[in-house]
Each structure stands twice: as C-alpha cells, then as structure tokens.
Amino acid sequence: MSAPRRRFLLVFGLFILVIAGGVAYFADSAPDGLDAVTQRGCTVVETDQGERLDGQCIAQHAQDHALAGGPLADYTVGGDGRWTGVAGVIGAVVTLGAAGGLFWGLRRRTGGE
C-alpha cells in the first residue's frame, strides 16, 4: 500500500473514531422518531423495577427484542450510560471492519495477484 493511501486511511480512521466517540456523548436520551410517536398519549413513570408507561399508547404493547440484554444495547456498554462514546467507537470499528472485509473480498484482482 502506498504511503499517501496509508496516511489517508489512518486520518480517516482517526476522524471516524473521534466523531463516533465524541458525538455519542451529545446524543439525547429522550425518545425521538418512532419512539416518540408510539408514546403519544402516555407518560413515562420511573419505578423501582424500571420505567412504566401510564395512559393509552401503542408503546404499552411493545416488547424488548432478542438482543435487548446484549452488551451494547441502548447504545451503551453494559447498560451504563456513561459509556456511550465507547459503544459508538466499538460500533464504528465493527462497521468499518465489516465494510473493509467485504470490499477487500469483492475487489477486482489483477492478473498479478
């Protein structure tokens, strides 16, 4: 690999990690988009067992998905909201690794390779 390409990939990788790790801390914990629409008509009440929805809304019938207890669920590491940036970096590394592996595997090969 040539030096300019290696330098570009290094700078690009560092930029992605800074953005993924830094911007994640500014993410709003309030629901948006589909979550907000499904919670219309309800109020969220904190209990000892977690959150409970009071009122009439679609979200009262929602269930957790199979990976809700996973290590990176809810954009955190182990459910700890202080680690959102780390979860963002892990997600970026996994995504870049998967995309890089896919592109490497599907690249056109010249006769010399």
More confident residue, 79 or 56: 56
| pLDDT of 98 | 94
Q: For residue range 67-103, list pLDDT tens digits in order.
A: 888 888 877 888 787 888 888 889 889 998 999 899 9
Q: What is the 3-state secondary structure (H, E, C) of the chain?
A: CCHHHHHHHHHHHHHHHHHHHHHHHHCCCCCCCHHHHHCCCEEEEEECCEEEEEECCHHHHCCCCCCCCCCCHHHCECCEHHHHHHHHHHHHHHHHHHHHHHHHHHCCCCCCC
CA torsion sign for 78, 57, 29, 88 is positive
Bridge partners for 77 per DSSP: 80
Q: For residue range 21-37, list pLDDT tens digits in order.
A: 888 777 666 667 888 88
**Overall pTM surpassing 0.85 (yes/no):** no
Averaged pLDDT of the chain = 84
